[in-house]
Each structure stands twice: as structure tokens, then as C-alpha cells.
Amino acid sequence: MTTTIDTSGLTALNATTKATGSAALDQNSFLKLMTTQLNAQDPFNPMDNSQMVAQMAQFSSVAGITEMNASLKAIAAQLDTTRVADAAGWIGKSALVAADFVNKGTTGTYSGQINLDTKADSVIVDLLDKNGLILNTQDLGGGTGPMPFHWDGNTTGDALRVRVTAKSGTTTVATTTNVWTPITAVQSPGSGTSQRLVTPNGLIAPSAAISLS
């Protein structure tokens, strides 16, 4: 036997949904849809029980997903609050970050480390001012890295450029530089999705901090 359902109620419901601009079928809309179907069915040829069970299962699934989404949003909000609190505890400390410019840290020195791709026989570090003048040169010797450097001789407090010359015999060894930079504040928008550490080296994502001191 073929079941015929009057869809006039469904058409009206769809028209109402479009008028309100809703593109999603929430719990209330789903319940209205079921009620409309029940009211519009032929009493002499009612909806098959299996169809009713299937629609009730759909309703339970929609309700469960909605509740799960609400729970996930609550958990995300708690994580955002925790992340803000954790990052706020970094204020006043220094972060080790990848950069070619070094600022005076909380200890009053210009500090960082040189990372080497391979072992080097000689590693020379020059610290230059904004005009390209070499203010300090350090011979770190040889090794595999990371090789720390620090200097407290600049009284102006300006950022200094770090220039590295590393050699293995006559071959140039590739290097990268990490520097210590003080954390002065935490920038945290209401969404919590783009939190940044405020430093003299600019805004830095917390995940970019290699180490703290």
C-alpha cells in the first residue's frame, strides 16, 4: 500500500523559513515539520510506523548534535580563558624567538643563540646598529651549536642586527639566529583566536616562543 502525505503544510513551513532568512533546520523547525506532517496526514491512510520511527531518530540526532555543539563551545570558552591567563603570566619574562634583530632583555644584555646546520670550525657574531656600524664582535669558536652569545655594552638600548659568519674550513655553514626578547604585554582579542605577545621585536604568537626565562 502506498502512503500519500499532504505536503501543503511542508510547503508553508518552507516558505516561512525562507522569509525569516534561516537556512538551517533547528530543533524547533524540525518539531514544527513533524507536527505539520501529522496534522496533514490522511486519517484513513496514516503515516507508516517505520517512517515515524525514522523521523523520531532524526529528531534525536539533531537534538544530540545541538547539545554537543553547545558543550564544545563552552569547553572552547574555558580553554580561551585558561590560555589568556597562562600567557598573562609571561609578562615580565623573556622569550627566545627566531629573529635577526636582538633587543636588550630584562637582564640588561643583548642575548641569543646561533644554530648551525653542520659543525663549524669558526663562528663569528657581529652586532650592528641601525647605521650598519659594528658595535661588538664575538668569536664563539667552533662547535655544532646552539652557541649562545650576549653583550651588555650598548647604552642606547636600540635594537641591534645580528650578523653571523660560520665556516668549516673554507666552506660557509648555514645558520639561524634565536634571540631573547622581553615580553611587555599580551594582546588578546575577545575571540581569543589571535592572541599575541607584545615584545620589542613586534607581536609574536605564543607558539613562536621557543623558551622562556
In a domain, 3, yes or no: no
Higher pLDDT, 91 or 58: 91
Total of domains in the chain? 2
pTM summary value: 0.59
In a domain, 23, yes or no: yes
Which residue, of 35, 68, 88, is where some domain finishes?
A: 88
Q: What pLDDT score was predicted for residue 105?
A: 86
Same domain, 146 and 163: yes
Q: What pLDDT score was predicted for residue 2?
A: 47
In a domain, 33, yes or no: yes
In a domain, 42, yes or no: yes
CATH of the domain at 205: 2.60.40.4070
Same domain, 84 and 174: no
Least confident of 32-46, 137-151, 192-206: 32-46
Same domain, 100 and 189: yes
**Three-state SS letters, the chain:** CCCCECCHHHHHHHHHHHHHCCCCCCHHHHHHHHHHHHHHEECCECCCHHHHHHHHHHHHHHHHHHHHHHHHHHHHHHHHHHHHHHHHCCCCCEEEEECCEECCCCCCCEEEEEEECCCEEEEEEEEECCCCCEEEEEEEEEECCCEEEEECCCCCCCCEEEEEEEEECCEECCEEEEEEEECCEEECCCCCCCCEEEECCEEECHHHCCEEC
pLDDT tens-digit readout, 62-77:
666 777 777 676 655 5
Same domain, 22 and 123: no
* Domain span holding position 178: 94-212
Same domain, 203 and 161: yes
In a domain, 196, yes or no: yes
Which residue, of 33, 66, 88, is where some domain finishes?
A: 88
Which residue, of 34, 60, 88, is where some domain finishes?
A: 88
Same domain, 110 and 77: no
pLDDT tens-digit readout, 148-194:
999 998 888 889 999 999 999 999 999 999 999 999 998 876 655 57
Same domain, 115 and 52: no
pLDDT tens-digit readout, 93-134:
899 999 999 999 888 899 999 999 999 999 999 999 999 999
Q: What pLDDT score was predicted for residue 5?
A: 47
Identify the burial level of 57 via C-beta atoms within 10 angstroms of its C-beta, where 0-12 means exposed, 13-18 middle and 19 or more buried. Answer: exposed
Confidence of residue 145 (pLDDT cuts 50, 70, 90): confident
Q: Residue 136 contacts by C-beta under 8 Å, 6 or more apart in sequence?
A: 126, 127, 151, 153, 154
Q: What pLDDT score was predicted for residue 206?
A: 85
Q: Residue 37 contacts by C-beta under 8 Å, 6 or more apart in sequence?
A: 5, 9, 10, 47, 55
Q: What pLDDT score was predicted for residue 77?
A: 53
42 φ/ψ sector (left φ>0, alpha ψ -120 to 50, else beta)? beta
In a domain, 1, yes or no: no
Same domain, 21 and 123: no
Same domain, 109 and 196: yes
Same domain, 149 and 82: no
In a domain, 64, yes or no: yes
Length of the chain: 213
Same domain, 134 and 168: yes
Same domain, 44 and 79: yes
pLDDT tens-digit readout, 3-61:
454 545 545 545 554 545 555 556 676 677 767 776 766 666 666 666 666 666 666 67
Q: For residue 146, is the peptide bond before it cis, meaning its omega torsion is within 30 degrees of 0?
A: yes
How many C-alpha atoms does 151 have within 13 Å on its Cβ side?
25
